[in-house]
Amino acid sequence: MHRAPFADHGGARAAGIDVVGLRERLRAWAHECGFSQIGIAGIDLAGAEPGLRAWLAAGFHGEMHYMARHGMKRARPAELVPATASVVTVRMDYLPRDAPPDWMARERSRLAGLADGEAVVSVYARGRDYHKVLRQRLQQLADRVAAEVGPFGHRVFTDSAPVLEVELATRAGLGWRGKHTLALSREAGSMFFLGELFVDLALPPDRPGAEPAAWSAGGHCGTCTACLDACPTGAIVAPGRLDARRCISYLTIELHGPIPLEWRTAIGNRVFGCDDCQLACPWNKYAQRSPLPDFDERHGLGAAKLLALWQWDEPEFLRRTEGSAIRRIGYVRWRRNLAVALGNALRAGGDGRIAHALSAAREDALPLVREHIEWALAQEALASQASRDAGSGSGP
C-alpha cells in the first residue's frame, strides 16, 4: 500500500483540470501498465451498507476480524481515506500466458485426480504474488497522473480488507457481482484481480456494469446456478451470499487453527484455495490470459503431486514460495492443508506410500499438523471399514 498525504491538497479537486480528457488518458496509461480495463466510480456506496451489515451480523466472515474492524468505513471511501472523491478500479487478468484452450477441463480433471495424488493449487496463486504486481503497477499509474496534474492525494489498494472492491468494480462498469460473489465480466469471466486507486480528483464516473437492482441478484447470471451447485461445501448459501467459514479458500488460506472436521473431506485435493465456482461458470470461457509473465506457473505448481509437496522441508518451502502468495500462510498451515489432502487421497484408495509418508512425519510434527496427520491416517481405516461393510452387505 502506498499513501500520499491527502491533507496537503485540501480536498477534492477538479478546477483547472480537464477531467474528461484525464479519464481517457488514464485508460491508455492503464493498458501500458498491464491492466486490461479500468473504470471510475464515485464514493457513495450507501446502497451496499445493508448487505455488508447483514453479512457481518451473520458471522459469515469467520475469523477474518479485519473485515469487521473497519465497520462501515469499508462502504464509505471518504471516511476510510479522507478527501477521496473518486475511485479508479483496475482489472488485471491472471490466466497464465500459456494456458491451453481447454484449461477449464484440465483443471476439473486434476480435481478428479485425488486417488492419483494430484495436488491442486488455485490458479491465481501459481505465479508471482499478485499483491506486489498490482501495487507496483497501480503506483506507476498514479505517477503518470501526477506527471500530468501535479501532486495529488491518492492511495493504492490491492485486495485490501477495508475496500468493497466488487461493489466498486460493478459501479465502475467492470462487470457485475456474480452469484458466486466475485466480479464477473462478459469479456473476461472472473479470472482477474482487482485493484483500486483512491484519488482526491473528482473524475466523471463510468456507467455501472448492471442496474443497481441486479447487483445483488447476479446481474447477467440469469437463471444459472452452476456455481452454487458446484461448491463442494455449500458455501454459497444463496445467490450472491457467501458463508466464508465454509469456503475452501477461507479454510485453506485465512483460517489459522485446525480445519473443522466437517469440511475436511470436501476439501479433496485442494491445498491452497479453490476455483470450483469459477470453473463451473460459463462466463469463464471468456477468461483472458495475462499479458504479463508474472502469473506464469512457477515450480510446476500446475501439475504438482501431493507426495512431492509433502517432501518439502521448511527451507525448501521458503525457497519455492519466494515471491508467491502461498508463502503468506507459512509452512505449518501448508503442512496442515497437505495432510488433509493426503488423508482424502488415502480414503480414495491412493498410493500406498502416502500412509508411510504421513506416519514418518507424525512424531516431529507441531501439534496442529500432527492432529491433521492423525486424522489423515484414520481415513485409510475408515475406507477399509466401509469397504468391508459393503462386502458383507452384498453377501448371500
CB 298 within 8 A of CB 130: no
Sheet holding 86-93, edge to edge: 37-41, 86-93, 192-199, 154-158
Among residues 213 and 390, whose Cβ is nearest to ligand SF4? 213
Among residues 162 and 218, whose Cβ is nearest to ligand SF4? 218
Active-site annotation holder among 159, 243, 364, 389: 159
Among residues 76 and 333, whose Cβ is nearest to ligand SF4? 333
Q: Is the dihedral of CA 270, 273, 275, 277 positive or negative?
A: positive
Which residues contact ligand SF4 (rule: CB under 6 A)? 178-180, 184, 218, 221, 224-227, 230-233, 235-236, 242, 247-249, 274, 276-277, 280-283
Task: Please tell me whether residue 158 adopts helix, strand or coil conformation.
Answer: strand
**Minimum CB distance to ligand SF4, residue 24 (Å):** 31
Residue 279 Rama label (left phi>0; alpha psi -120 to 50; beta) = alpha
- Whether 275 is catalytic is no
**Residue 322: how many CA atoms within 13 Å on its side-chain side?**
5
Please state, in angstroms and rounded to a whole number, the distance separating the CA atoms of residues 352 and 374.
16
Closest CA to 39 of 159, 183, 188, 207: 207
Please state, in angstroms and rounded to a whole number, the distance separating the CA atoms of residues 273 and 213.
31
**Minimum CB distance to ligand SF4, residue 81 (Å):** 29
> What is the b/e burial string over 155-184, where b = at least 16 CB atoms within 10 angstroms of the residue's CB?
bbbbebebbbbbbbbbbbbbbbbbbbbbbb
Please state, in angstroms and rounded to a whole number, the distance separating the CA atoms of residues 340 and 268.
8
**Minimum CB distance to ligand SF4, residue 89 (Å):** 19
Among residues 86 and 190, whose Cβ is nearest to ligand SF4? 190
Sequence-separated (6 or more) residues with CB below 8 Å from residue 158: 1, 130, 131, 134, 135, 138, 193, 195, 196
Among residues 134 and 227, whose Cβ is nearest to ligand SF4? 227
Among residues 45 and 236, whose Cβ is nearest to ligand SF4? 236
Q: What are phi and psi of 257, to 5 degrees?
A: -90, -155
Please state, in angstroms and rounded to a whole number, the distance separating the CA atoms of residues 191 and 182.
9
Please state, in angstroms and rounded to a whole number, the distance separating the CA atoms of residues 290 and 191.
10
Among residues 138 and 253, whose Cβ is nearest to ligand SF4? 253
The amino acid sitting at 162 is P
**Minimum CB distance to ligand SF4, residue 126 (Å):** 16
**Minimum CB distance to ligand SF4, residue 295 (Å):** 19
CB 220 within 8 A of CB 186: yes
Among residues 99 and 247, whose Cβ is nearest to ligand SF4? 247
**Minimum CB distance to ligand SF4, residue 269 (Å):** 13
**Minimum CB distance to ligand SF4, residue 279 (Å):** 8
Sequence-separated (6 or more) residues with CB below 8 Å from residue 17: 149, 201
**Minimum CB distance to ligand SF4, residue 67 (Å):** 16
Active site residues: 159
